[in-house]
Structure 1
Amino acid sequence: MRFRLTPRPQWLCALPVALSALALPGTASATTDPFFEFTDTAALASAAPGTVLKSRTISVYVAGFKTKLKATQLVYRSTDALMRPAANVTTIFTPDCATASCTNKNKVISYQSFYDSLNPEDGPSRAYAGGKRLPDLLPAVETILFGKYVKQGYTVVVSDTEGQKANFAAGPEYGYNTLDSIRAALKAPQVGLSSNAQVVMMGYSGGAIATEWAAELAPSYAPDLTPNLIGAAFGGTLVSPEHNLTYVEGAPIWGGVMPMAIIGVSRSYEIDIKKYLSPRGLEVYDKMQKASIAYVLGMYRNVTWKDLVKPEYQDRTKIKEYVEAVNKVIMGTGGTPAIPLQIGQGTGGVWELTKTSPLWGKGDGVMLAGDVRTLARQYCAQGVPVQHKEWGTSHFTTMALWLPWATDWVDARFAGKAAPQNCSSIAPGNPLTPLAYNP
């Protein structure tokens, strides 16, 4: 089947226009902020992960509007998917102890954003520093999600989880960036955290990628954070991208996520994906080099893997580079979390016009419930306290149900309560067997 770019559903067409008119004053385009650049490769190579390289205080912008909030931004040393030194950026909201109580300052929320994009300019740190573009609305929406904690005087850390190259869907890299942002926040004197500050990680959708990978990588990559990390809550989770590829390809709303993920993972592992692409695939590749989810939803109806690649690569198990990379981003392959987990997932993907997968069963429209159940059961078997819940709703609507459930769980962790678990009642899911190379 050949693919074609079709108009978005009316509600998707209208929403960006309405939001941009209401929330984004002016017509400013992206400009490079030198703060986000770090070119001293020698200093980067010699620095330990989590080292603060630059810092500044900003007035926080929300949807293009300047607020009274102040935040600290840090450029810090992290690690890319190929285990090389990399610079990244995080934004840290802290209470003003001169005007407000600092009782909760050492309770830290590491909030991972769902800003899904292939464009570095779409990182939340850019948005909070004054972004006035449509993708900058996503971090604005998210300030509502974690705003309760800012108001109550908690410290909230929001990193650019995809890194400064925006390697969308490259899970391990998200994890390194998240863990090193916490390290940087704990080390930075201008943030003023105690060395024994308690940290809970949370995120939904793209934010769940970062949260889960940080949880599973922490014991091996950041054992120094063991005294600080006390839990992770996430929902709408991308467990095995190879499975999700067959679930969302051709879907009216979510179909464009498939080529976005292929580009992001290929970029992360430095795979020249272009040599495998058909003329149509190259067209999509060129259009998506700096694509945000805000411009992709509803725009790639009917696009499939077979449309994107040359005839000899229709069976992707014959592409060794693809097989190796996609296996590296299967959750649960990087280690076992040493903290309690709370995992939520929707199953009503038909609400968002995604068909139930004949191979993988129900999902929320973009993420597969069976994959999430298997991951939860795997961690249960390894002794991790897991609370798991499913709703019969779609990806968008499940977030509204997940948030208060997750917030209650997070509050209980800071209160020192025992973490709940329902491991014995989690139903079996899909096998998470790595893809086999078939030359």
Structure 2
Amino acid sequence: MGYSGGSYGTSWAAQVHPTYAPEIRLVGVAMGGWTTPVGRYLESLDGGPFAGFLPSILPGMLRADPHLAAAFDRSLTPAGHALIAAGDSKCMTPNVAQHAFLRMDDYLTISFGQLLEQVHTSIDALDFDPVASTAPLFLYSAVHDEIIDIAGPDKAVAQWCADGAPITYTRDQLSEHVSLAISATPAALGWIDDRLAGHTVPDGCSTRTVQSMALGGA
């Protein structure tokens, strides 16, 4: 089985696979545009042009963690509860379009920063696991991503590589967050196809910085 998807689901699949579903033969995982550390990422979205990611991201996080859900439930205003419910019913693109420059403080009884501090244990648990993946990883990030600081993925890759994870990591100079999702797709799917076909992946880690994955840089 190969896996390619969003940052939370993909990193989770890679890290918990040996204990959660050892019966599945996971031959490779491709992941791009991933967020770490999560708390800093959420704060950076708040009040900015991509604040609409928050009503898309938060509902899933709340469903996954009862402690997180309880803390938000206590702190959300009626308008805040409506925001989360409405965001959960829409795709990410309309949320981002509708809620540019949204400030979570307007939907909470305490500041967003205070709330994140109260639940930092739950938020921190969503960051990359220091336990390296046993399945080969194909990772890619935009150096100048306007949403995600590449320092987080760089740090995670360095730690996983030091622990012996098999990683192919590409840093894209020209793309930003959305364009990378498009330009990297052929390389990511091609890499997954190779794993499913049984082609061997090189041992160890490799990191490359390319102009653009759209130009064939993988």
TM-score in same-fold range (> 0.5): yes
- Find the residue that maps to 2:151 and give its secondary structure: helix
Distance 1:265 1:395 in 2: 21
Structure 1 418/269 Cα, relative in aligned 2: closer, same or farther at 3 Å?
A: closer
Distance 2:182 2:149 in 1: 18
Other-structure match for 1:393? 175
Q: How do 1:240-259 and structure 2 match up within 5 A?
A: 240-252=37-49, 254-259=50-55
Unmatched 5+ stretches in structure 2? 210-218
TM-score with structure 1 setting the length = 0.42
Other-structure match for 1:381? 162
Q: Is the 8 A contact 1:346 1:398 kept in 2?
A: yes
Which of 259, 264, 268 is the aligned partner of 2:60? 264
Superposed CA RMSD: 2.6
How far 1:245 moved relative to its partner? 0.7
Which of 367, 375, 378 is the aligned partner of 2:148? 367
Q: How many residues align?
A: 204
How far 1:274 moved relative to its partner? 2.7
Other-structure match for 1:418? 201
Distance 1:297 1:255 in 2: 7
Which of 7, 20, 34 is the aligned partner of 1:237? 34
Q: Is the 8 A contact 2:51 2:102 kept in 1?
A: yes
How far 1:259 moved relative to its partner? 3.3
**Residue type of the alignment partner of 1:219:** P
Distance 2:127 2:108 in 1: 23
Q: Is the 8 A contact 2:52 2:96 kept in 1?
A: yes
**Residue type of the alignment partner of 2:139:** I
Moved over 3 A (4+): 311-314, 365-368, 420-426
Cα shift readout 1:381-412 (whole Å, capped 9, x = no counterpart):
11012111111312221122212222332344
Other-structure match for 2:23? 224
Distance 1:237 1:314 in 2: 22
Which one has a larger percent strand, Structure 1 or Structure 2? 1
Distance 1:404 1:424 in 2: 18
Other-structure match for 1:174? none
Other-structure match for 1:305? 104
Whether 2:156 is the aligned partner of 1:326: answer: no
Other-structure match for 1:341? 137
Which one has a larger percent helix, Structure 1 or Structure 2? 2
Distance 1:300 1:255 in 2: 6
How far 1:262 moved relative to its partner? 2.5
Structure 1 222/278 Cα, relative in aligned 2: closer, same or farther at 3 Å?
A: same
Q: How do 1:101-140 and structure 2 match up within 5 A?
A: none
TM-score with structure 2 setting the length = 0.79
Structure 1 374/312 Cα, relative in aligned 2: closer, same or farther at 3 Å?
A: closer
Larger-gyration structure (1/2): 1
Distance 2:108 2:83 in 1: 11
Distance 2:188 2:87 in 1: 33
Q: Is the 8 A contact 2:45 2:147 kept in 1?
A: yes
Distance 1:233 1:245 in 2: 23
Q: Is the 8 A contact 1:241 1:330 kept in 2?
A: yes
**Residue type of the alignment partner of 1:337:** S
- Find the residue that maps to 2:97 and give its secondary structure: coil
- Find the residue that maps to 1:224 and give its secondary structure: coil
Give the share of equivalent positions with the same residue, in percent: 20
